[in-house]
Structure formats: structure tokens, C-alpha cells
Homo-oligomer: A and B are copies of this chain.
């Protein structure tokens, strides 16, 4: 059990500024996203409190927020754990994201200001270069930035917020279910095509780009229905939190 994930979570915590629940949320979310906190990892309140140098009150608030973001699983009288979405939920999340992000993209087509387009272009280019030099963490960072920009610039803020949530959730399940041996989930040209559709003011083309992109992404996952880790753990009595070896 000597996981020592505490140090991982704390990586790069700026000393000096007082730590609030927001900082904890950001750090944990990021750690989960970067797959440094694998699903099922227990997150006891006192431990997190020690790591961040705050008391349980702050940690509890952070955990509640993380639970509402679907990042952790918080059950009464039990230790909070990093959530492990099931295969079914993964498919459903992709479906929902296609719907929402497709709509946002179609709304955005031809409506983006010049600076927004250049920012988007920079991220697309950055992603391509990161992929070229096989820097997967950086590539993921750029990819997230692209979709986060879409969410931010959505003229419909409600849809934008929903998209932010869905991007987070799909990122988590991608990390979870990525095919073994697959170095990257980069899809050549997808984002470039999207950018072109947005710049060219073609709503339906933009929507189609999003749909294709997300279908492609989903196809890169290993979604065969060996039943969900959660179910197994529940059945077995959840005595073991660490890695579940298949077969």
C-alpha cells in the first residue's frame, strides 16, 4: 500500500498562498486526469488534509465538489475514492458529449472572433507538434485546451458549462479505457478540420467534425464488456483497492 500518491498530488503546490478547497479540487482533478491517481484510489480526508496542510473541513468541501463533478465517488460513511466509470457509462458519456459539443460547435461556426480563432489555431498546432515529438502529456494538455476553448466561447453558457463537465469525464474514461499499447489517442487532422469548419462558418460541417472526432476517439478505447471494476469490487467485498489484473 506504499503508494505515496500524496507527493504526486502535491506536485507543484505553490507555497505561501493560503490553500482553499478550490486548490484541492483543481489539484485532484488534474491528478486524476493525468492518470496519476488511478480509479479506485482511496482519498481519506485526514490524509488529504495533511497533504495540503488544511483541516478536514476544507477537504470535505473539496470532496463534495469533486463528487458533483463526477470525479470521485462519495458514499455515506465510506472513504471517498477516485471514480471508475463503467463501460456503459463511458458510452453514454461519449453520446452526451457528441450531442452537446456538436451543438456548441455549430453555434460557434462563423461566430468566433479573430483572437479566439488564433488561440484555437495555436493549440491545434501545439497539439500536432507535441504529437510529433511523442510528448503525450503535452498533447493531452493542448487537446484539452482546444475543447475547453470551445466551451468557454460557447454563446450558450449553459451548454458551455455542460461541455466542460463532459470533456472532463470523457478525458477520465479515455485514460481508463485506452487500448493497451496505444501510445497516443491523437487523430490526425481532426482538429484542423474542425478549425476550418468553424472559421468557414459552416455549422453542420463543424457538428460533423465533432461527431467524427468523438466517434474516432471512442473507437480507440477498449470497451469490451468485461464487467465493470466497481461491480467486481463490490461483489468481492472490496478488500483490495489496487490494480485489478485482467484474466
Task: Point out residues on A near B: beta carbons under 8 Å.
Answer: 60-61, 64-65, 68, 88-89, 92-93, 95-96, 99-100, 103, 156-159, 162, 169
* Majority secondary structure, A binding face: helix
**Are A159 and B96 in contact, CB atoms less than 8 angstroms apart?**
yes
Copies of this chain present:
2
**Are A159 and B68 in contact, CB atoms less than 8 angstroms apart?**
no
17 contacts between A and B (CB under 8 A): A60-B61, A61-B64, A68-B68, A88-B157, A89-B157, A89-B158, A92-B156, A92-B157, A92-B159, A93-B158, A95-B159, A96-B156, A96-B158, A96-B162, A99-B99, A100-B100, A162-B162
Give chain B residues whose Cβ lies under 8 Å from the Cβ of A64. 61, 64-65
**Are A99 and B100 in contact, CB atoms less than 8 angstroms apart?**
yes
Give chain B residues whose Cβ lies under 8 Å from the Cβ of A68. 65, 68
Question: Which partner residue on chain B sits nearest A69 by CB separation?
Answer: B68
Give chain B residues whose Cβ lies under 8 Å from the Cβ of A96. 156, 158-159, 162
Give chain B residues whose Cβ lies under 8 Å from the Cβ of A93. 158
Query: Besides the contacts A96-B162, A100-B100, what 4 more A-B pairs have beta carbons closer than 8 Å?
Result: A88-B157, A92-B157, A99-B100, A158-B169
Cα–Cα distance between A61 and B68 once the two chains are bound (Å) = 12
**Are B65 and A158 in contact, CB atoms less than 8 angstroms apart?**
no
Give chain B residues whose Cβ lies under 8 Å from the Cβ of A158. 89, 92-93, 95-96, 169
Cα–Cα distance between A64 and B96 once the two chains are bound (Å) = 25
Cα–Cα distance between A95 and B156 once the two chains are bound (Å) = 8
Give chain B residues whose Cβ lies under 8 Å from the Cβ of A89. 157-158
Least Cβ–Cβ distance between A26 and chain B, in angstroms: 16
Question: Which partner residue on chain B sits nearest A157 by CB separation?
Answer: B92
Question: Which partner residue on chain B sits nearest A96 by CB separation?
Answer: B158
Cα–Cα distance between A99 and B162 once the two chains are bound (Å) = 12
Least Cβ–Cβ distance between A23 and chain B, in angstroms: 14
Least Cβ–Cβ distance between A170 and chain B, in angstroms: 10
Least Cβ–Cβ distance between A29 and chain B, in angstroms: 15
